[in-house]
Structure 1
Amino acid sequence: MASAVKDSRSGYGSLLRTPGAWTFLLPGFLARQPFAMLTIGIVLLVQSTTGSYGTAGAVSATTGVSMALFAPQSGRLADRFGQRAVLLPGVLVHATGVAALITLALAHAPLWALLAVAVPTGASTPQVGPMVRARWAARLGGSPLMPTAAAFESVTDEFTFVVGPVLATALCTGIHPAAGLIAEAVLTLAGGLLFAAQKRSQPAVHRAGSGDRPRVSALSVPGVRVLIVAFLGIGAVFGGMQVSLTAFTQHIGQPGINGVLYGIFAGGNMLAGIACGAIAWKVGPRRRLLVAYGLLALATTPLWAVTSVPLLGAVGLVVGLCIAPALITGYTLVETLVPAAARTEAFTWLTGAVALGQAAAATSAGQLADGFGPSSGFLVPLAGTALACAVLLALRAHLLPRGSAAGADAAAQRVPDRAGAGAKDRERELARA
């Protein structure tokens, strides 16, 4: 284990010394913070103005569904025309949409008006995380550092889910119900414009020419479709936890600890992500994904029965610890399945799946909380992960197309060339997948 940690540390150090990495890492970190603030900010604002978790969940869900449907199109356009061309108009539309949503909510506009504005607000959400991953892939190619980059990005994502909800909740409960969304819009605008300005590090544009192969959508890859289902389940955990924790803390008269509890949950996710990068895995990614999902489903089982705040924090921490291995492994797998020309699109499909699962879970958990009490919303993460786990088990053969030469070559690139490892060792590692 000591050697594994040592290797990991040198790997992270080498990763962060990649030429040009910091030029997109810092702006990307700022630009992705609002992603974790949007849905919780909507829930807190709309619930404050309407008094209904169901209504708040419906508006939040509409935003998430719109994000999920348009994110892959954004990724496809970024692959074809460049990330800057997509980001610049996107952040402007998003900031305008958030401003309109705040105005309508404070004016007690009807639900249909809130839903109408939620559509462009979600559709224009900048997909900075997938764009950063695409930049890593363009920089590193088939380098053994790619799994380290996947772990690093997962940790960065989860750090935003620690900071974002806590910040949004503190602003909404301590200053004004709209303060969380105002901060989200400002950060999106500032961070998105700074990230778009980093033109040198963006991946090459893949325009189809007369002599090129026909463009293939990432969605045509069977393994990507399976991973989308898996990430729907992860989204169900995020959405169900957000709404259910909000309802639970409101019910016990301590709304201020909502952000703390969600931060503990997201903090477990972040810690697990760091640990995943510190382990020299001998088990293949498919098996790791299945094990991680089984553990996640088990961890979500007791949530609905917990009535104590400390115990809920402890169970939430365990749930968070089980998410990162599934996320990291999923992103690692998709890199081996999809060609560079569709890579940003593939990452946005997974991000969109999380958003769609989060939206559906927010709606379901909100309805359950309104009708059957705050704890009943915690059944949603359990149902989402259990269904996704069953699909993964049934379709696991699609996660690594061994029969495809391209798939075998891509998988071979992912096996680290450790000192003294020969061809037989690499073949054994591929077999474990």
Structure 2
Amino acid sequence: MSSPYRAIFAAPGSRAFSAAGLVGRMPLSMLGIGIVTMISQITGQYGLAGALSATMALSTAVLGPYISRLVDRHGQARVLRPAGAVAVLSVAVLLLGVRAGAPHWLYFVCAAGVGTTPSVGAMVRARWSAIHRGAPELLHTAYSFESVVDEIVFIVGPILSIGLCTVWFAEAGPLLAAVFLGTGVLLLAAQRGTEPQPHPRAHHAGGSALRAPGMPVLVVVFAGTGAMFGAVEVNTLAFADERGHKALASLVLATYALGSCLAGVVFGLLRPGGSARGRFLLGVTLMAVSMIPPLLVGNLALLAVALFCSGLAVAPTMATSMSLVERLVPRARLTEGIAWTSTGLAVGVSLGAALAGRVTDRSGASAAFAVSAGAAFLAAAAAGLGYRRLRPAPEREDVHGGYDDDGRQDGPAPGALEGRGDLA
């Protein structure tokens, strides 16, 4: 492991909470596809499977920021356990109901209950922010590392979930996802030494992290980016199916994630200059441009190469976006702020997948890559139009003094060291 990565893990407890975060994040990529596979195998109703997956995604989008806001107010341990318990119980009842042939309304109630799944990735990033808040370069490496972890989750999770459902028994994928969720939540909640300090008094003043001037811009950009991701998955599957190699779709998508993984690792080793918002705009623009080649390819090998190149822009952009959130929202609402980006991403994935499916049915998979490109360019346009709003929260200006908005400074501003009890 290279020096910057050794440095971030030198902090006591960092390895433990990052490992717990990896386990707790596995359901992100396993539950949705696992439920679709399970329902389609047992009932043969793809419409029902898709509706349940959409219900779960919508519930997560609605409840996720609220749960994260409770975490900021009351602390991770107090909120993680009950929220995780409701989610695990909802999955368990769903599996039992499907096996017993229960009425479909119960399926939807359970799918909605899964929306209480805590945003484990936001909890882990909040811990990194608390540990390395005075060292922006280490925080940059930590966020890059977590972006790589996200890609690993989305490479391994679907393969594991689908494989278990098809090879072992239909409920095996969602069942293992629930085990991962319960285990990860309990392990993370037990690590009190690295838990960020809650801010109950700050939340009595009211308001949401979404009120920070730049946050609506980020949520819109993430929705466009999510639509790009969702469309790419559907388009790749359809593209491979049209050429008689549907089973290879997962490998082609793995090259997309692999490109992102490699770029994320390298990005964590670098010390990029300029402002975070400038790098964010550049990254989103590069993602948009990289969606043009998939429109032009004619076989799976070229598509794999095109998606690998596209993936190179993903993890660095995601890591930079987390740095932006850390600066845009008050520290008392950091977890909620990160969760809002996840909400935008989840909504975008659902919309992008649905639209890409419709275009594929009408015009074919190659034409449907226009959905991916269109969503990416809309995200880049939103980032460009909202660029000036991506400014640090007032408390960040006070602390960083003569800063650029990347957190670098020559020294603290006058009075910057006063009133820092809330940040200690």
- Scaled to the shorter chain, the TM-score interval is 0.7 to 0.9
Indicate the residue corresponding to 1:232 in structure 2.
223
Change (3 A) 1:416 1:68: same
Shift of 1:409: 4.3
* Pairing 1:17-416 to 2, within 5 Å after superposition: 17-48=10-41, 56-103=49-96, 114-121=107-114, 123-144=115-136, 145-208=138-201, 214-304=205-295, 306-400=297-391, 406-407=396-397, 409-410=399-400, 411=403, 414-416=406-408
Change (3 A) 1:245 1:173: farther
Distance 1:161 1:350 in 2: 17
Letter in 2 for 1:241: V
Change (3 A) 1:94 1:370: farther
User: Deviation per CA, 1:113-152, whole angstroms, max 9, x where unpaired?
Assistant: 644432222x122211000011111122222322122112
Distance 2:86 2:31 in 1: 15
**Higher deviation after alignment, 253-262 or 335-344:** 253-262
User: Deviation per CA, 1:292-312, whole angstroms, max 9, x where unpaired?
Assistant: 112211222343554422222
Distance 1:373 1:217 in 2: 42
Shift of 1:55: 5.2
- The percent of aligned pairs where both chains have the same amino acid is 37
Q: What is the TM-score with the length of structure 1 in the denominator? A: 0.84
Change (3 A) 1:198 1:405: closer
Letter in 2 for 1:159: I
Shift of 1:287: 1.9
Change (3 A) 1:304 1:37: farther
Letter in 2 for 1:134: A
Answer whether contact 1:163 1:263 (CA < 8 A) is retained: no
Partner SS, residue 118 of structure 2 = coil
Answer whether contact 1:57 1:243 (CA < 8 A) is retained: no
Distance 1:330 1:36 in 2: 21
Change (3 A) 1:253 1:50: farther
Change (3 A) 1:89 1:347: same
Answer whether contact 1:228 1:353 (CA < 8 A) is retained: yes
Distance 2:95 2:73 in 1: 34
Shift of 1:391: 1.2
Letter in 2 for 1:245: T
Letter in 2 for 1:346: G
Change (3 A) 1:130 1:11: same
Distance 1:366 1:49 in 2: 23
User: Deviation per CA, 1:130-180, whole angstroms, max 9, x where unpaired?
Assistant: 000111111222223221221121112122122212222332343344332
Change (3 A) 1:377 1:66: farther
Distance 1:304 1:40 in 2: 26
Letter in 1 for 2:261: M
Answer whether contact 2:52 2:111 (CA < 8 A) is retained: yes
Answer whether contact 2:330 2:395 (CA < 8 A) is retained: no
Change (3 A) 1:303 1:150: same
Aligned length, in residue pairs: 408
Answer whether contact 1:50 1:108 (CA < 8 A) is retained: no
User: Deviation per CA, 1:321-379, whole angstroms, max 9, x where unpaired?
Assistant: 12112211111111112222111111111112111111222322333344544455433
Distance 1:366 1:250 in 2: 13
Change (3 A) 1:389 1:334: same
Q: What is the TM-score with the length of structure 2 in the denominator? A: 0.86
Partner SS, residue 354 of structure 1 = helix
User: Deviation per CA, 1:369-422, whole angstroms, max 9, x where unpaired?
Assistant: 4454445543332222121111111111001259x57447445584457xxxx5
Letter in 1 for 2:124: V
Change (3 A) 1:62 1:20: same
Computed over aligned residues only, the root mean square deviation of the Cα atoms, in angstroms, reads: 2.9
Consecutive unaligned residues in structure 1, runs of 5 or more:
1-7, 424-433
Distance 2:179 2:166 in 1: 19
Indicate the residue corresponding to 2:414 in structure 1.
none
Partner SS, residue 362 of structure 1 = helix
Letter in 1 for 2:226: G
Change (3 A) 1:56 1:315: farther
User: Deviation per CA, 1:264-285, whole angstroms, max 9, x where unpaired?
Assistant: 2111111111121122212322
Distance 1:56 1:229 in 2: 27
Shift of 1:255: 4.2
Answer whether contact 1:61 1:362 (CA < 8 A) is retained: no
Shift of 1:204: 0.9
Distance 2:391 2:253 in 1: 34
Change (3 A) 1:112 1:365: farther
Consecutive unaligned residues in structure 2, runs of 5 or more:
412-424
